[in-house]
Amino acid sequence: MPSVFIKTYGCQMNERDSEAVAAQLVAKGYSLAPDERVADVVLLNTCSVRDLAEQKAIWKMGNLAGTARKQGRDQVLGFMGCMAQSRGKQLIESLPDVDLVLGTQKFHRAAEYLDALLSGQREKIVDTAEEAGSQAAIREHLLTGAADKKSVTAFVSIMQGCNQHCTFCIVPFTRGEERSRTIPDVVAECRELVARGVREITLLGQIVTSYGKRDYPAKDGKSAFVQLLEAVHEIEGLDRIRFTSPHPKGYGDDLVEAYGRLPKLVESAHLPLQSGSDRLLKLMHRGYTRERFVGLVEKLRHVQSGMGISTDIIVGFPGETEADFEDTLSLCRQVEFDLAYVFKYSPRKDTPAATMPDQLSEEVIEERHQRLLNLTNELAAKKYEALIGSTQQILVEGPSRRNPARYEGRTRSNKIVVFPGSERHRGHLMNLRIERTGSFTLYGDPAVVGMESEENAPSFTPHPNDSPAPAS
Ligand code: SAH
Ligand code: F3S
């Protein structure tokens, strides 16, 4: 049976797409190679959001092709995802060893195309066409079966595409128009996952707050997205719901209020800010002002005081003045994000911003990037330190990625907590006392669990799916 290795660049949506393709191939009899060097098929699932991500994947493919040639190996090489979509057959023209280019609406055809290529088809395959209904085709999961390796968390794709057309962003071109799955379809997938041991689900899309707008009219003042959250919330055995990425302008009062009403919806929101300057927000076509953004953060913290808020910010958008940049700094000081992803502006093909006047020099962008990072890291560190001594509920996901001798989980506000745990803790909600912090990590101690909580809560919250409940 042929083996496949998939390397993923970019966001959680890409991670999810790779997982669905891997699961589809495994179901067709492929095995997953531990390493690209021994695989019969290597697929690069690409990102186009910034030039650097594209260059990395192109460089990687050149490297793979060179190695395969040198060793005289007949490896099948393919690009899939966003860059495959935006560059299409041009990728084969510049890298003639590439056999397959699979666009963002064609993931479900991976097995069919690879079978053809592996059975000797010489002709290369490029498929980047649009396909009605493809948003519902990303549904297979690769959950490991063994009880001790069970996946505790899972991603579920609820929609594809984005119609917002922020002037810097290539996503509307690579992912197409907004298309949503139906509520029953999403709920059925979530139910299956929960039946297989999943406790936390993250609903995914490029702009999830626009979910189902055209298909589900607002009901009792509730948007389609809130209706979906309510439906997923009903699933018994599911402990936590997250979602990403929302758009700040899509955060109506119905969604803000849902955080107070739906206990499984955790206190965490990713609110991409992009800039703190109203002038730039307008040029970016973001659809909100600084004042509205700050107002939204206040409302969310009012509903849930422990709300974790993360963001994305771009520095060096065309025409950004020192004053605009200082507006971003001051907004960060005002809001105090728990985590900020800071990006250097990268001009993207076909986007309006790429041809705007006053593109900034690399030096200016670099300098502002560093200044903003210094500030956001300093503010985030304070947020983490403020949790020392508090008791936090975590969902244990498995061994710590940094130190496999320890275990880790996330707080409801989406912060990683590392603690001296063991396999029996996997998949359980635990209350831990936070002892100290590291870089974007909290360290907890289960020995003093529950001491701080009102009712002296036990260290484990038994779960309806558990039989028997582990000894604590
Ligand atoms: N809503 C989407 C956004 C995708 S891009 C999602 O998260 O699914 C993720 C982040 O990359 C954006 O929020 C933005 O901060 C950054 N980004 C997008 N286009 C960019 C560009 N041309 N240059 C630099 N950063 C960019
Ligand atoms: Fe991109 Fe803006 Fe949509 S950042 S994904 S066009 S909301």
- Tens of pLDDT, residue by residue over 198-253, are 999 999 999 999 999 999 999 999 999 999 999 999 999 999 999 999 999 999 99
48, 50, 166, best to mutate for ligand 2 pocket (most atoms within 8 Å of CB): 166
What pLDDT score was predicted for residue 445?
87
**Nearest ligand to the C-alpha atom of residue 246:** 1
Q: Is 206 in the pocket of ligand 1 (CB under 6 A)?
A: yes
Residue 465: pLDDT band (50, 70, 90) is very low
Mean pLDDT over all residues of the chain? 93
Specify the higher pLDDT residue, 445 or 63. 63
What pLDDT score was predicted for residue 21?
97
Which residues lie below 8 Å from residue 325, measured CB to CB, with a gap of 6+? 277, 315, 368, 372
Residue 449: pLDDT band (50, 70, 90) is low
Place of tokens 């800039």: 275
CA distance 16 to 411: 22
pLDDT at 146 over 60: no
Short-list 17, 385, 381, 404, CA closest to 175 = 17
CA distance 466 to 138: 29
Sign of dihedral through CA atoms 55, 61, 65, 70?
Answer: positive
Short-list 408, 12, 409, CA closest to 200 = 409
CA distance 317 to 282: 12
pLDDT at 263 over 90: yes
Query: Is the separation of the CB atoms in 230 and 263 below 8 Å?
Result: no
pLDDT at 32 over 80: yes
Query: Is the separation of the CB atoms in 100 and 75 below 8 Å?
Result: no
Q: Is 49 in the pocket of ligand 1 (CB under 6 A)?
A: yes
Short-list 207, 206, 213, 242, CA closest to 227 = 213
Taking the CA atoms of residue 50, residue 54, residue 60 and residue 66 in that order, the dihedral angle to the nearest 10 degrees is -150
What pLDDT score was predicted for residue 148?
54
Helices (H), 178-289: 183-195, 224-233, 253-261, 278-283
14, 202, 247, 314, best to mutate for ligand 1 pocket (most atoms within 8 Å of CB): 314
Mean pLDDT, rounded, for 309-328? 98
**Nearest ligand to the C-alpha atom of residue 318:** 1
CA distance 409 to 417: 5
Q: Kindly report, residue by residue over 371-394, the tens digit of the pLDDT.
A: 999 999 999 999 999 999 999 999
Q: Is 169 in the pocket of ligand 1 (CB under 6 A)?
A: yes
The helix or strand, by DSSP H or E, that contains position 398, with its residue range, turns out to be: strand 391-399
Q: Kindly report, residue by residue over 412-424, the tens digit of the pLDDT.
A: 999 999 999 999 9
Task: Pick the atom of ligand 2 nearest to 286's CA.
Answer: 2
Q: How large a percentage of the chain has pLDDT more than 90?
A: 90
State which amino acid sits at residue 263.
Answer: P
What pLDDT score was predicted for residue 145?
55
What pLDDT score was predicted for residue 459?
42
Nearest CA to ligand 1 atom 17: 49
Residue 54, both tokens: 């594209």
pLDDT at 397 over 50: yes
Which residues lie below 8 Å from residue 281, measured CB to CB, with a gap of 6+? 274, 275, 288, 289, 290
Beta bridge partners of 434: 444
Ligand 2 lining (C-beta closer than 6 Å): 162, 164-166, 169, 171-172, 206-207, 247
CA distance 380 to 392: 17
What pLDDT score was predicted for residue 55?
98
Q: Is 360 in the pocket of ligand 1 (CB under 6 A)?
A: no
Q: Is 164 in the pocket of ligand 1 (CB under 6 A)?
A: no
pLDDT at 456 over 90: no
Give CA 103 to chain center in angstroms.
Answer: 19
CA distance 43 to 324: 41
pLDDT at 447 over 70: no
What pLDDT score was predicted for residue 464?
39
CA distance 11 to 160: 13
Nearest CA to ligand 2 atom 2: 166
Beta bridge partners of 8: 45
Q: Kindly report, residue by residue over 337-364, the tens digit of the pLDDT.
A: 999 999 999 999 999 999 999 999 999 9
Mean pLDDT, rounded, for 327-336? 98
Residue 402: pLDDT band (50, 70, 90) is confident
Mean pLDDT, rounded, for 292-314? 98
Residue 462: pLDDT band (50, 70, 90) is very low
What pLDDT score was predicted for residue 125?
97
CA distance 135 to 121: 28
What pLDDT score was predicted for residue 77?
98
Q: Is 173 in the pocket of ligand 1 (CB under 6 A)?
A: no
Task: Pick the atom of ligand 1 nearest to 341's CA.
Answer: 15
Q: Is 227 in the pocket of ligand 1 (CB under 6 A)?
A: no
pTM beyond 0.75: the answer is yes
49, 344, 362, best to mutate for ligand 1 pocket (most atoms within 8 Å of CB): 49
What pLDDT score was predicted for residue 470?
35
How many other CB atoms are there within 10 angstroms of residue 55's CB atom?
10
Could you list the beta-strand ranges (E) of 230-365: 240-244, 268-270, 308-315, 339-344
HEC profile of 33-98: CCCHHHCCEEEEEECCCCHHHHHHHHHHHHHHHHHHHHCCCCCEEEEEEHHHHHHCCHHHHHCCCC
